Amino acid sequence: MQSAMFLAVQHDCGSMDKSAGNSPKSEEKRGKMKRTLLKDWKTRLSYFLQNSSSPGKPKNGKKSKQQTFIKPSPEEAQLWSEAFDELLANKYGLAAFRAFLKSEFCEENIEFWLACEDFKKTKSPQKLSSKARKIYTDFIEKEAPKEINIDFQTKSLIAQNIQEATSGCFTTAQKRVYSLMENNSYPRFLESEFYQDLCKKPQITTEPHAT
């Protein structure tokens, strides 16, 4: 379900990019399409997370491989606004933020950060080397499919470091991408309608007392 949701949003993003131009009419059309995409994103994300919040019983006695996302309480969701790390440490929050970056066409930032987190946990020298090369070809080298926005000097340093890969190969680049997300995308996520809805406490209706 998760991959299906992201692929569907990606399809919409691709269609929008192809139809966008530089004329005023094209800019207006692009704005309308982005608003439609954001609305669609919220609908799909809500559906996905709500349907993933209940683990259910595994069929045929087998353990379910589907990752479970438990919807946070308003109090838990409010904690995400206290620190960026609070958001990233929560599975539901991370999924929501990742989908939000997808809607802003900068999902490569969180994907690179997650790849670096996995990379730092790798113990095998052989796996460390192969993962370093994959991260480099996916995110760092010129015209990489998910190229991140970092300076040429940092890219050159990474190219040298992966020749003899260590767990610190991507530390500088990961810090810069983290800072970029924290200072730009994170504040916009906190202002999003989806996040604001999560923080709303359910209204308690009281029946008038009989006199």
Indicate the pTM of the whole model.
0.69
Give the span between the Cα atoms of 6 and 3, in whole angstroms.
5
Maximum average pLDDT range among 16-20, 43-47, 52-56, 150-154: 150-154
Q: Work out the pLDDT band at 63, boundaries 50, 70, 90.
A: very low
What whole-number percentage of the chain has pLDDT above 90? 61
Query: 161 in a domain, yes or no?
Result: yes
The pLDDT tens digits for 112-141 are 999 999 999 999 999 999 999 999 999 999
Query: 26 in a domain, yes or no?
Result: no
Q: Work out the pLDDT band at 191, boundaries 50, 70, 90.
A: very high
Query: 44 in a domain, yes or no?
Result: no
Query: 110 in a domain, yes or no?
Result: yes
Q: Which of 67, 89, 79 is nearest to 198 (CA)?
A: 79
* Of 6-20, 55-69, 136-150, 188-202, the least confident: 6-20
Query: 15 in a domain, yes or no?
Result: no
Phi, psi (rounded to 5 degrees) for 68: -100, 135
How is residue 86 written in tokens? 């609070």
Give the span between the Cα atoms of 115 and 125, in whole angstroms.
16
Averaged pLDDT score across all residues of the chain: 79
Give the CA radius of gyration of the chain: 21
Quote the pLDDT of residue 4: 39
Query: 78 in a domain, yes or no?
Result: yes
Q: What is the CATH number for 93?
A: 1.10.167.10
| Structural domain range at position 131 | 70-199
> Would the pLDDT of 30 be above 80?
no
Give the span between the Cα atoms of 109 and 116, in whole angstroms.
11
The pLDDT tens digits for 85-118 are 999 999 999 999 999 999 999 999 999 999 999 9
Query: 43 in a domain, yes or no?
Result: no
Helices of type H across 53-124: 74-79, 84-88, 91-103, 108-120
Higher pLDDT, 204 or 8: 204
State the number of CA atoms in the 13 A half-sphere of 165 facing the CB: 21
Give the span between the Cα atoms of 95 and 208, in whole angstroms.
42
How many domains does the chain contain in total? 1
Query: 36 in a domain, yes or no?
Result: no
